[in-house]
Structures are given as C-alpha cells and as structure tokens.
Amino acid sequence: MRWEGEAELSLRRRPRRREALIQGFLFLCGALSILTTVGIVYELGKESLSFFTRQLWENSNKPLAADLAPDDPVMLVGTAGAALRRGDLIRVHDEIMQVTAIQGLRLTVERGLRGTAAAAHAAGIQIFRGNRVTLLEFFTQTQWNPQIGKFGILPLVNATLMTSIVAMLVALPLGLGGAIYLSEYASARARAMLKPILEMLAGVPTVVYGYFALTFMTPMLRSIFGRDLVEIYNTGSAGIAIGILILPLVTSMSEDALNAVPRALREGAYALGGTRLETAVKVVVPAAFSGIAAALLVAVSRAIGETMVVAIAAGAGPALTLNPFRGAETMTGHIVRISGGDLSYDSIDYNSIFAIGLLLFLITLGLNLISQRVVRRFREVYE
C-alpha cells in the first residue's frame, strides 16, 4: 500500500557491500594475527624439539689403553676420566659404538653404529660419551654453559626473575600512586599536562634505559652501598631501569581502571564522611582491583621480556645468585649475546636459543592467562 505520489517502499534486504568488505578486512587482520602467533610457536617448538633430541658428545677424559682393531669387540680403557655405563653410546674418533658389557677396564662394545664404519684406533685416543639434554636437566641443573654441554636454565631464570621483581618494586608503588593522583587529586589542567609527559617515557628507546642504568643507576648504587659490594654490571640497576620503563604502562592502565569506577561510589563515600584519601584507598582502589591487577601482570610480562636494558647493564655471564648487586645474565640477555656470536646453523648452541625463547613465551602466556582469570574473578559490574 502506498499513498498517491509516494515512491514504493521496498522491504527487501539490500546488499551492503561496503560493510561486507570492512568485515572481511577485519576478519583477515584477526586471522593474520592468529596465524603469525601459530607460526612463531611452530618455529619455537620445532627448533626446541631439535635441541632436546640432538645427540651431544662430551669428552669423558678416558683414553683407550690399547690399540683397537676394526674387528675387535672388546676395548681396554684407562682408569682416568668419567665412568662409563652399560648402554652408553660412545664415540672414538668418527666411529660410534654402544657399550654392551663392562668387566673392570674391559668394555664389550657394538661397533659401527649409526652409519659409521668400524676402524682401527690407536691407544691414547679420547673416548666421547653420548648425551642428550633432558627436561629434568634443563629445569633442575644450576649451570648454563653450552660450550661444555651444560644446559641448566635455572641461572638464567633466576636473573630474569630478579630483574623483574626489582622492576615491580619500583613500578608498583610509583605507578599506582601516580594513577591515584591523576584520577583522584589532579585537576583537569594538571592531568592534561602530566599524563603526556609521563607517557613520553614509553617512547624512549630501551637502549637508552640500558645506558641510563649503566652510567647513572650503577654509580649511584655504588656511592650508596660501596664499590666493593656493587659490581659494575648488576641486576639491581637493570631492574630499576626496567621499573622506570614500565612505569607509564602501570600508571596508564591503572588510571583507566580507576576512572571506570562510577562517580556514585565516590559521592557515597564522601557523604559518609570519608576523606579523599580514604575514598581513594578504601573505595575506589578495591573497586578497580581487577583492572589494576591486570595492569600489574601485563607489566610483569613486559619486564620479563625486556632485552636491551639487561643486555647492557645486568651482566654477560649466567650466575645463580640472589644478590641484586652482582652481575647475572637473563634469558633475553643471553639470547642477544649468544645470537651475536659465530654460531653455526642447526648447532646445539643455536637450538638452545629457541628453547629459551619457548620458555619465555610460555611464561608470558601463563601470566596473560592469569591476568584474564583475575579480571573475570574480581570484575565488578555497576548498573
């Protein structure tokens, strides 16, 4: 039905090509992000698997005590060096063997394994023992030295956690205090002036923070605590610099969480006689706890993944220590240092970088999952 002179009204669905294109473009962006993450995880997992399955050869410091003929299944070894066990893979020159029986210094071996040919070997040649990096060794050993086959990740994890803890001790009180000031105390003019200045810290290159820690924080710590106690490269100064680096992140996200608290809660606290500080600490901060907790967990992830600051200021050697005034190499710092060396592709040292990277990825993934659970657990909805 239509009125005279009025155009016919069509109720059919019209194609919306522009919206369809926009929707397709947004879907493509999301899919590319997911595929990029999957690709990173795939490469980390593939190279890490190669790291944990590669055969290592370590010098047992045990020599052949007598010449070994190509067809001789029994070898005589010296008394020096590490003890060999039944079932061990050993290598003499280029030939790989397996120990099948042991009688004192006489080893019964299976010759010419894994495509190698049985050959004659002269007395005095060193015996190499086969070994693989196991998950138990990787997570429990306290020495990391790929050059000699030591792959205990604990010193690198310890240094990473130390710098992150120091960073959070700096960023948490300063960032939360700054967020409370900007949200509850600062005037609109002061907020408009201070917030851009604070966020400028996020635009400073991290290498600048590294040299700031090395040339300013370390001399200041040495002047306070003594030159004998504080080493030139130490995790304390690196952690303080990382704390300053993540300060804008903590402040900005915490302030957003505080500003999301309804004004009615503040006015109710004021009506009950609460001061501005009591209202901020006892009403606003608890109401915004989920957002503040998420900000802190994201900041911890940022601190753990920081590279240039620790590479410059924390130290260049793995060390298992709880002293923040000593130098210790973090996981990211070790990746930077060792990847800049003359590493051959697909070597055990090369693959160890990916094992460390995969562990870093899992740590940050775990922190993000915890952050989401905290947000869902403590989120408060206001009508």
Phi-psi region of 9 (alpha: psi -120 to 50; beta: other; left: phi over 0): beta
Kindly tell me if the per-residue pLDDT of 94 is higher than 70: yes
* Gap between the Cα atoms of 95 and 46, Å rounded: 28
* Gap between the Cα atoms of 100 and 109, Å rounded: 5
* pLDDT at residue 5, rounded to an integer: 52
Residue in 170, 124, 141, 172 with CA at minimum distance from that of residue 295: 172
Measured in residues, the chain has a length of 383
- pLDDT single digits (tens) 75-88: 999 888 888 888 88
Residue in 206, 200, 209, 174 with CA at minimum distance from that of residue 296: 174
Domains and CATH numbers, the chain: 56-132 (2.40.30), 151-378 (1.10.3720.10)
Indicate whether this model's pTM tops 0.85: no
pLDDT band at residue 189, thresholds of 50, 70 and 90?
confident
Kindly tell me if the per-residue pLDDT of 349 is higher than 80: no
Give backbone dihedrals phi and psi of 143, rounded to 5 degrees, phi first: -135, 130
C-alpha angle with apex 177: 171 to 179, nearest 5 degrees?
95
* pLDDT at residue 346, rounded to an integer: 65
Handedness of CA 286, 162, 144, 320 (dihedral sign): negative
What is the helix (H) or strand (E) element at residue 91, kind and residue range? Answer: strand 89-92
- The answer to whether 205 and 238 have CB atoms below 8 angstroms apart is no
Kindly tell me if the per-residue pLDDT of 24 is higher than 80: yes
Between 213 and 61, name the one with better pLDDT.
Answer: 213
Q: Which residue has the tokens 């010193």?
A: 155
